[in-house]
Structure 1
Amino acid sequence: MPSRHGARRARRLPSRAPGRVPRGLRAFAVLTALTLAFVPACTHSSPPAHASPSPSPGGAAITPQQYQPGAASPPPTLPGDWLTYHHDATRSGDVPDVPPPSRLARSWSAALDGAVYGQPLVVRGLVVAATENDSVYALDRSSGRVVWRTRLGTPAPLSSLPCGDIDPLGITSTPVYEPTTGLVFVVAELAGGRHLLAGIDPVDGTVRVRREVEPPRGTAADHQQRGALTAYDGRILVAFGGLEGDCGDYVGAVVSAAATGAGPLLSYAVPTARQGGIWAPGGPVLTAGAGGRPAVMTSVGNGAAVGGAYDGSDSVVALDPKTLTRTDVFAPSTWAADNAHDLDLGSLTPAVVGRYLLAVGKSGTGYTLDAARLGGVGGQVAQASLCNAPGAFGATAVVGSTVFLPCADGLVRVDVDAAGSARPGWRLALAAAGSPVVGGGAVWVADYAKGVLYALDPATGRALTSAGTGTLPHFASPVLTGGQVLLGTETGVLAFGGA
């Protein structure tokens, strides 16, 4: 089976493994207005004092807690903050107001208590990073000094899980800042295979919300929470897939919880007998779907069916963000063979390219979809061969009609025309391409197998500058903030100057 979730040591994927809105991204403008219009204007805020709240034992019961912020609104966020995976709700990875790249130099290195698989956030100038040891840290952005640390519990040792390749298994996904509460949310896997949703005050690390979130079907311990969290309309969206090895009883799902911690959970489960994981690192994507209404788009992995009736797997699924009911679906006409040979679409987060989505999976075939009408089985607008085997993994970066696509063996520029045809351009060979972002007139990408961070000319793919990083987790993706580049590593967080 493919290496889907990232090993403790970065390695080449085996052959069976794995400030402006860009013109044309009208869907992004719609979502920005819907999700961020209520965030107050930005003002300066001083870093908080050090605090280290007491951890909760990994075996303790998780009691739902309702967060009541009172009359005060959350403090404002700041220019340069990075509040969600790939900077925005569409996961564009296109970052405004970043200076052009110069010679990269390491600014600081923060050794934390575990690997940082998700992107660090930047909230009111503080770097917030979550580790596989179920800890959340706030770091001073200029020095890497620990401002506070919160331990959420004891992570699950690999020996206690039916399969997998992260040891221990704690917080793997990228957190999200939720603007109505002003909290940073993470999902921590605890000993016993339970999943804790925690809302943390970024000022001092106090845990304001704690509740268990579990997928609606299958065995909780057989699921892994890998996709980035998404905030929408006062709720947190959480995607679930399986462990590396596709073992046990898991069924891909999206779960929605109120950011206050109160009320029932909502959920969607892939209608397959088993598997169908929703695990791509970018997590649920928010964009405009049918009728211009907000929609949650997710990519789905291989399911149990290899013939007969279609089972909802190997797909791109549109969900209503308020109810999580499925409103649309696309699957390749080859879905049965894809399921049989582990060549599904679940390995890459869908890319929002204007009115289109670009979906690429382990076969390397790219499918252009009309976001307003995904088309069902075989309903693509166009398709093209974009990646060599074993396909595409992680998440893309999108600027206008150009997509920077992380294939397993390198980064590819893809241009999508007005009719939806996707045409590959330059290709940069890498041992293992991480998920790229764009800013300052450069494409930033990590080769996580060799431990190198690159800034590339977006027109030619030529390296403008590079720097060594040491060992990185699978699908590592940089964060651009002001003149810095931040990167989660197997031991903590690195910061570079020169961006």
Structure 2
Amino acid sequence: MPPGTVVRFMIVGQFEIRQGLLFRGAFTRYGFKSIGTAHKKRGVAAAMLLLSADDTGGSLEVAGGARSVLLAVVSPCGAACVHASRSAVVQDGVFHLSGEPGRAGWPQISSFSEGMGKETHVSVANPALRILVLCIACACLSAVRAQGVDAVPGYHRTGDRSGQYVVPGLTWQSASHLHRDSRFDGRVDGHIYAQPLYWRPPGSAVGLLIAATQANTVYALDAATGHVVWRTVLGPPVPRSALPCGNVDPVGITGTPVIDPAAGTLYLDALVNRQGEPAHLVFGLSLRDGAVLHGWPVDIAAGLRARGMSFDSRVQSERGALVILDGRLFVPYGGNFGDCGGYHGWVVGLRLDSPGVSGGWMTRGLKGGIWAPGGVAVADRALFVATGNTGGVETWADGEAIVRLATDLKRPASGRDTFAPTDWRELDESDLDVGGTNPMPIDLDGRRLIVGLGKDGKAYMLDRDNLGGIGGALVVQQVSSASIRTGPASYPAQNGVYIAFHGNGVACPAGQGGAGLVVLRIVAASRGGIGTAWCARVDGAGSPVTTTSDGAADRIVWIAGAEGDNKLHGFRGDNGQPVFAGGRDEDRIQGLRHFATILAADRRLYIAGDDRIYAFSFEP
């Protein structure tokens, strides 16, 4: 591309509009201070940025609230002229958009989805790009066409575990047409407890579904047909009889893996039978062909032993989802079902550039496992985990806690980085721990909060910058009469944030049954407030997610009746009115495991059962 060629980037997003400003921040290399004012059309705001490229490369750095970046190259003739598209995911708050800027005179449209209420900062990261003009361009909104994302890289899609997806065309009305796609193959080998993931290879029109099974087999399936693209066996799984306790047989890959989209790499933990001895091994696989990458796997016990720490793979389980932050991989560990042996709650860090254990944090007391399906949550470039009940301790020793960790995994020195309820001893004794769900970071009216849900049926609202130590919650509210063990989802709502979870609501609106799905309303009072927005009956124990048709409209809360009616259920996100009640008998799913979690990609919903991935479509 000749020097000085103008390439137009339109930035379109779903954001909370504050004081007329769409973005706050600065183009740091060029000294811009004001980003401009916003115009609103059905909640969509747009800004146009004109850049000049001195060569065929260049990059933008996007950080902050944006969770995904969707690109479409559009000719000047308008909405009917979409010629090509690609997209990428903002991983850990930073995404580098690189490659060809596009043909001269063609605008590239970028859609920042799932950024409600969060600031986004855009800066030029390559000196080859020069900013020429910044303006608002609402007239071009009609040219925006919703595109699919290139990756669902981890549990509930993003590191904050909010579970929000955009599915163009999936509205409150079209949801009633949802049906199982009988043409989708989806056959795999093994029980599946992990959420499937999604990755679209660069330049490909078809994405891959990634499924990991208890047989220690990883599959890449064509997301359109369900046919196997590649299959990798990582070693023999461990039979239940080789472990001191448990309820999974055999044990292989249990926790949800994580994808590095830019590198095209999948990371996971597998329990492998090594000549009769169980070993937790962390693998790095190429997403192109499933090959194990150089330097992997990493033996967790050996890596920690080299750092002077002891880890027993026989009594440690890996149920929680993995996460990547600042070039490191983080893996949570708890114990086996039955709480046997001398296990601890662990977060183990691994280097990605030079595979190996970089550090580890464990509970000081025995037990205290980190076992919730959402595993490690990320916010403010920090890690947040919830621990279970400890045993045999006289003083608090990291159990029944929400803990904030830096990426070096050094033990927090301040109560600002930990929270435990005042009745932690009673919770220990009754096995009513805080660790049944991952912490949920939320931003509300400028306040940085985090919400925990306990097996005691209580919701705990905390200040994310000061977790408060023992008894330091802003609000504690009984919200369920049953134990809460799930992967919750969160989404923005009028005057607050909603959090959806599987439970049995105690304050449901009149006429709404509380057994199955509960949606809390989190509001910003002086200390914050927790109420129940709505409830719905669901027979089963899945984990909820939400979809919208464009990032804001047609919010639907989806949950599977795992180990119950084995059907999908959808409800309006604002009031809980059913929009899909499971469909016909042929739409029933076989072999769903508790905590089963839905994935949305390519205008479909996917969910994993034993030996199969199921696809649901709302189109004929």
Give the TM interval when normalised to the shorter protein.
0.7 to 0.9
Shift in CA distance, 79/179, structure 1 to aligned 2, threshold 3 Å: closer
Structure 1 residue 489: deviation in Å? 0.7
Contact 1:89 1:230 (8 Å CA) reproduced: yes
Write the mapping of 1:23-422 to structure 2, written as runs, cut at 5 A: 23=16, 29=65, 32=90, 34-38=92-96, 40=98, 79-100=149-170, 101-107=175-181, 108-124=184-200, 125-179=207-261, 181-191=263-273, 192-208=277-293, 209-214=296-301, 216-272=309-365, 274-288=366-380, 294-305=381-392, 308-326=394-412, 328-354=417-443, 355-389=448-482, 391-400=483-492, 401-407=497-503, 409-419=515-525, 420-422=528-530
Structure 1 residue 89: deviation in Å? 0.9
Shift in CA distance, 371/245, structure 1 to aligned 2, threshold 3 Å: same
What letter is aligned with 1:444? W
| Structure 1 residues not aligned, in runs of 5+ | 1-18, 44-76, 289-293
Report the equivalent of 1:459. 574
Count of aligned positions? 440
Contact 1:35 1:233 (8 Å CA) reproduced: no
* Cα distance between partner residues in 1 of 2:14 and 2:437: 23
Contact 2:151 2:261 (8 Å CA) reproduced: no
Report the equivalent of 2:141. none
Report the equivalent of 1:61. none
Report the equivalent of 1:64. none
* Cα distance between partner residues in 2 of 1:310 and 1:181: 41
Shift in CA distance, 22/314, structure 1 to aligned 2, threshold 3 Å: farther
* Cα distance between partner residues in 2 of 1:211 and 1:33: 23
Task: Compare relative contact order (CA 8 Å, sep 6+) and give the higher one, 1 or 2.
Answer: 1
The partner residue of 1:447 within 561, 566, 578 is: 561
Shift in CA distance, 416/143, structure 1 to aligned 2, threshold 3 Å: same
Shift in CA distance, 128/352, structure 1 to aligned 2, threshold 3 Å: same
* Cα distance between partner residues in 2 of 1:78 and 1:415: 29
Shift in CA distance, 28/421, structure 1 to aligned 2, threshold 3 Å: farther
CA root-mean-square deviation: 2.5
Structure 1 residue 282: deviation in Å? 0.5
| Structure 2 residues not aligned, in runs of 5+ | 1-11, 18-23, 25-62, 68-89, 102-146, 201-206, 505-514, 549-554
The partner residue of 1:435 within 513, 536, 543 is: 543
Q: What SS is found at the alignment partner of 1:112?
A: coil
Of 93-102 and 230-239, more deviation after overlay is shown by 93-102
Contact 1:411 1:433 (8 Å CA) reproduced: no
Q: Deviations over 1:237-260 (max 9, x none)?
A: 000000000011211100010123
Report the equivalent of 1:425. 533
* Cα distance between partner residues in 2 of 1:228 and 1:172: 9
Structure 1 residue 34: deviation in Å? 4.6
TM-score where L is the length of structure 1? 0.83
Identity %: 32
Shift in CA distance, 92/20, structure 1 to aligned 2, threshold 3 Å: farther
Q: What SS is found at the alignment partner of 2:269?
A: strand
* Cα distance between partner residues in 1 of 2:352 and 2:359: 13
Structure 1 residue 462: deviation in Å? 2.4
Q: What SS is found at the alignment partner of 2:314?
A: helix
Q: Deviations over 1:207-230 (max 9, x none)?
A: 103211237445221110000010
Q: Deviations over 1:316-375 (max 9, x none)?
A: 000002344336100000100000000110001111221111111110011100111000
Shift in CA distance, 344/204, structure 1 to aligned 2, threshold 3 Å: same
Of 275-284 and 204-213, more deviation after overlay is shown by 204-213
Contact 2:167 2:603 (8 Å CA) reproduced: no
Q: Deviations over 1:369-427 (max 9, x none)?
A: 011100000000011111112x2112111112111122264111101111321101211
TM-score where L is the length of structure 2? 0.67
* Cα distance between partner residues in 1 of 2:593 and 2:213: 11
Q: Deviations over 1:88-142 (max 9, x none)?
A: 1101101134432341221224221101211111111111110000000000011
Contact 2:92 2:324 (8 Å CA) reproduced: no
Contact 1:331 1:378 (8 Å CA) reproduced: yes
Shift in CA distance, 33/172, structure 1 to aligned 2, threshold 3 Å: closer
* Cα distance between partner residues in 2 of 1:402 and 1:40: 35
* Cα distance between partner residues in 2 of 1:224 and 1:119: 17
Contact 1:78 1:123 (8 Å CA) reproduced: no
Q: What SS is found at the alignment partner of 1:154?
A: coil
Contact 2:298 2:357 (8 Å CA) reproduced: no
* Cα distance between partner residues in 2 of 1:407 and 1:22: 30
Contact 1:80 1:482 (8 Å CA) reproduced: no
Shift in CA distance, 431/42, structure 1 to aligned 2, threshold 3 Å: farther
Shift in CA distance, 319/242, structure 1 to aligned 2, threshold 3 Å: same
What letter is aligned with 1:280? A
Contact 1:98 1:439 (8 Å CA) reproduced: no
Shift in CA distance, 33/210, structure 1 to aligned 2, threshold 3 Å: closer
What letter is aligned with 1:200? L
Shift in CA distance, 344/160, structure 1 to aligned 2, threshold 3 Å: same
Report the equivalent of 2:509. none
What letter is aligned with 1:130? A
Q: What SS is found at the alignment partner of 1:155?
A: coil
Deviation beyond 6 Å, 4+ runs, structure 1: none
Shift in CA distance, 406/20, structure 1 to aligned 2, threshold 3 Å: farther
Higher strand fraction (1 or 2): 2
Shift in CA distance, 435/485, structure 1 to aligned 2, threshold 3 Å: same
Structure of greater Rg: 2
Contact 1:180 1:234 (8 Å CA) reproduced: no
What letter is aligned with 1:317? V
Shift in CA distance, 431/105, structure 1 to aligned 2, threshold 3 Å: closer
Q: What SS is found at the alignment partner of 1:174?
A: coil
Shift in CA distance, 42/83, structure 1 to aligned 2, threshold 3 Å: farther
Q: Deviations over 1:284-315 (max 9, x none)?
A: 11102xxxxx2100000000146x31111000
Of 214-223 and 446-455, more deviation after overlay is shown by 214-223
Structure 1 residue 492: deviation in Å? 2.1
* Cα distance between partner residues in 2 of 1:434 and 1:376: 31
Structure 1 residue 460: deviation in Å? 2.4
